[in-house]
Amino acid sequence: MKLTIFFAGLLGVLLTPTLTAYNIDISNNGNSGGSGQQSVSVNNEHNIANVDNNDGWNSWNALWDYNTGFAAVRVFRKKACIVHKMNKDAMPSLQALDTMVKEKKLQGEGPEGPPPKGLTYSVNPDKVNDLDKFGKSIVGMCKGVPTYMAEEIQGASLFFSAGPCFSANILYIVNIALCGSIVEY
């Protein structure tokens, strides 16, 4: 009996470093609809970060898959998933993200921090038929939900207009604007 308890405890200690989760309060910093709470899960074993933004009807979930290089945002109000390539110049590495969240060193959080990096994407109105190319994690999040591909608009400016945009401010680190007809209210 003692041996079973020992191994169960050892297993818990060994698995703990692979999945870490944090809760962060977000107060009206560019999230659609205002304030809420973001929960962050970092899975080092599978190289995935998951951010849940809980804000009632304006809730969304973002998944960054560092193995495939794709990210997805599931917009609950629109009942849609939007997949895009990760911009590794703007998005932190998984290890940097894990450290920033652990130490609560989030960009733009205080007056001394830099503002979040902004990325603008144009959402293709055609549904994606084959999710498998995006990896198991994105398939798990988007399966059974209309899914669309988005393309980053390099050097997006005030002159760009691809219709309405849904904004997801992720942990004060990066602000992702998803623009196109599928995000209309």
Instruction: Kindly list the domain boundaries of the chain, sorted by start residue.
Output: 19-183
Rounded mean pLDDT of 51-57? 87
pTM: 0.76
What's the rounded Cα separation, in Å, for the pair 76 and 69? 23
CB 29, CB 76: distance < 8 Å: no
Give the residue, 15 or 43, on which the prediction is more confident: 43
Percent of the chain with pLDDT over 70: 68
Which range has highest mean pLDDT (106-120, 142-156, 169-183)? Answer: 142-156
Percent of the chain with pLDDT over 90: 40
> What pLDDT, on a 0 to 100 scale, did the predictor assign at position 83?
98
Rounded mean pLDDT of 60-87? 95
CB 178, CB 82: distance < 8 Å: yes
Rounded mean pLDDT of 158-169? 72
